[in-house]
């Protein structure tokens, strides 16, 4: 199975920072960091994203703004917007930008399976499209030409000798020569899988170009036989580059790969492995026997044994929508909620923010959540679930408060989480809030176009005017389609009621 798949990971480079730079084109090429809202008043706020221009000054994610400014006085700090209904971060602008990227991915070719991994990451299963190209063209001839590397301007081959100089100063790495040798060897030996990797790499070059052309965002990519391998090599030559790895080179790559840098091994499991066996790299993990793994980690032994050999059979699952829509707020230390008044205040705000996001989701995806999960943390974590019959904030507050009113406020409340899921296709035409939210959505669409066209000279803006118009048009179409469906659903309900009355009348 492993040698038949061509899997890629698309990873947007310091995505939040790129979104801010696109909003303010004068920031292109300058050091930029994005500050999380919740900590904005403490030491300049914690940094969520850092542009590569800022990283050259030693600035890293997790630093405070004041510390970063000391390293680079010219650093621009961009703040995540505050929520409309509650004092917490509103990441709508980043979600909207992410939707632009995923639109490009879904429109590239229907044979590609796209899995949304996060707001700025996507896994692609290119296998079906690559197989078709392999069977209907002559890749041996195409990629055997001396100038074939011209189609791969940002592609690297991970073979152990491609590490950055600071990590391995003895290695001399030439990207073009390494790529040319790899392609020539694949053609001469007629290695079908390596040629398919090359086809996949060319497709990813094209996909990344489409993303750049459509959104003005840069991204990096990894291409290999599995999700784990694709993610591992994706960061190898960031930013704006892509890396392909063939199966035979995985042991060489693993020689210098820390265990905690591998997907699903970055947390407690990875630390436990390193401590128990006194190891650091994936190569060292590959030398641990199955019996020793079973003794120390019986539930994960088989998976660990395979991962250490580059084998990961997890499928890329088509997923372009969030499985849930949620809001959450922490109340640490002295900010913990101690009274019903405090809890009610925050519940009302969080519910309004959740409804705002649910309505936006309803407009975009034409679906309705049916279950609301309620989480509350005091000294323990409590969870409850209720059926969602409406998106009306007042009705939802009544339902949620009926649960919260029975929660003891001593010890005080340290976290509230509301998460809606179990979506059903379609919309609820009887919702009292729909018309109001549709109107607001239209207003936001119009205002976004006005802001985009007045924030900078259109001729010099990073995003062309036709792109702005296209985005506005698409938003208007989504809203219009949503409104039509609301009316249609309401008419259907009226018709059913009418038929029921007629049947009852005739039955008398």
Dihedral angle of Cα 42, 47, 53, 55, to the nearest 10 degrees: 100
Tens digits of per-residue pLDDT, 5-20? 999 999 999 999 999 9
Res 49: pLDDT: 93
Res 363: pLDDT: 84
Contact 152, 237 (CB under 8 A): no
- Going 67 to 71 to 74 to 75, the CA torsion angle's sign is negative
Res 28: pLDDT: 96
Res 442: pLDDT: 53
Tell me the three state secondary structure of residue 435: helix
* Among 133, 134, 182, CA closest to 156: 182
Instruction: Kindly report the pTM of this predicted structure.
Output: 0.73
Instruction: Fold for 325-425, please state it.
Output: Dna Ligase; domain 1 (3.30.1490)
CB contact burial 435-471 (16+ within 10 A = b; e otherwise): eebbeebbeebeebbeebeeeeeeeebbbeeebbeeb
Res 429: pLDDT: 58
CB contact burial 324-348 (16+ within 10 A = b; e otherwise): ebbbebebeeeebbeeeebbeebbb
Where do we find the tokens 């990813």? 204
pLDDT along the chain (508 residues), means of 10: 80 97 96 78 80 95 91 94 74 92 95 94 97 93 89 93 62 86 93 96 98 98 96 94 94 91 91 94 94 92 93 88 86 86 90 89 87 90 89 91 77 90 78 50 52 41 41 48 55 53 47
Res 279: pLDDT: 94
Structure token digits, residue 274? 């390193």
CA 42 remoteness from chain centre:
27
Q: Which CATH class is domain 2-12+94-307?
A: alpha beta
Q: Could you give the CA distance from residue 82 to residue 378 in angstroms, rounded to a whole number?
A: 25
CATH code of domain 15-81: 3.40.1170.60
CB proximity list for 295: less than 8 A, separation 6 or greater = none
Contact 154, 205 (CB under 8 A): yes
What spatial distance separates the first Cα and last Cα of the chain, rounded to whole Å? 67
Q: Report which secondary-structure segment, H or E, holds 303.
A: helix 301-307
Res 409: pLDDT: 66
To 10 degrees, what angle do helices 340-365 and 465-506 make? 100
């Amino acid at each position: 199975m492993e040698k038949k798949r061509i899997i890629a990971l698309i990873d947007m480079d310091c995505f939040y920072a790129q979104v801010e730079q696109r909003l303010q084109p004068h920031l292109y090429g300058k050091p930029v960091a994005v500050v999380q809202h919740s900590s904005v008043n403490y030491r300049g706020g914690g940094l969520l994203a850092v542009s590569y221009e800022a990283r050259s000054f030693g600035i890293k994610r997790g630093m405070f703004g004041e510390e970063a400014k000391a390293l680079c006085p010219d650093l621009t700090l961009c703040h995540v917007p505050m929520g409309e209904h509650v004092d917490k971060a509103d990441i709508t602008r980043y979600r909207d930008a992410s939707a632009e990227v995923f639109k490009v991915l879904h429109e590239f070719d229907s044979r590609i399976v796209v899995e949304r991994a996060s707001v700025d990451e996507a896994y692609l299963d290119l296998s079906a499209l690559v197989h078709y190209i392999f069977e209907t063209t002559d890749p041996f001839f195409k990629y055997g030409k001396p100038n074939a590397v011209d189609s791969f301007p940002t592609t690297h081959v991970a073979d152990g000798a491609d590490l950055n100089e600071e990590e391995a100063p003895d290695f001399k790495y030439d990207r073009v020569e390494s790529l040319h040798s790899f392609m020539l060897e694949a053609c001469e030996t007629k290695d079908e899988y390596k040629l398919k990797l090359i086809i996949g790499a060319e497709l990813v070059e094209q996909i990344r170009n489409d993303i750049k052309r459509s959104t003005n965002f840069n991204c990096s990519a990894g291409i290999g036989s599995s999700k784990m391998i694709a993610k591992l090599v994706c960061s190898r030559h960031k930013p704006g580059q892509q890396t392909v790895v063939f199966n035979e080179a995985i042991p060489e790559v693993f020689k210098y790969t820390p265990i905690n840098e591998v997907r699903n091994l970055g947390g407690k499991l990875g630390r436990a492995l390193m401590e128990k066996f006194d190891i650091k790299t994936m190569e060292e993990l590959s030398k641990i026997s199955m019996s020793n793994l079973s003794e120390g980690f019986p539930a994960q032994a088989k998976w660990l044994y395979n991962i250490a050999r580059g084998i990961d059979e997890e499928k890329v699952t088509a997923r372009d929508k969030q499985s849930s829509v949620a809001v959450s707020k922490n109340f640490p230390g002295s900010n913990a909620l101690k009274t019903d008044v405090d809890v009610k205040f925050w519940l009302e705000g969080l519910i309004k923010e959740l409804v705002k996001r649910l309505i936006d989701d309803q407009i975009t995806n034409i679906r309705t959540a049916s279950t609301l999960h309620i989480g509350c943390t005091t000294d323990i974590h409590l969870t409850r679930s209720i059926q969602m019959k409406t998106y009306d904030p007042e009705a939802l507050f009544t339902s949620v408060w009926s649960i919260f009113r029975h929660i003891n406020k001593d010890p005080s409340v340290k976290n509230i989480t509301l998460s809606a899921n179990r979506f059903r296709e379609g919309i609820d035409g009887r919702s009292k809030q729909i018309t109001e939210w549709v109107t607001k959505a239209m207003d936001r669409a119009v205002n976004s176009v006005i802001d985009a066209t007045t924030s900078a000279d259109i001729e010099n803006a990073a995003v062309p005017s036709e792109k702005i118009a296209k985005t506005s048009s698409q938003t208007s179409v989504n809203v219009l389609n949503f409104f039509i469906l609301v009316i249609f659903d309401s008419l259907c309900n009226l018709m059913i009621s009418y038929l029921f009355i007629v049947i009852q009348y005739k039955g008398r």
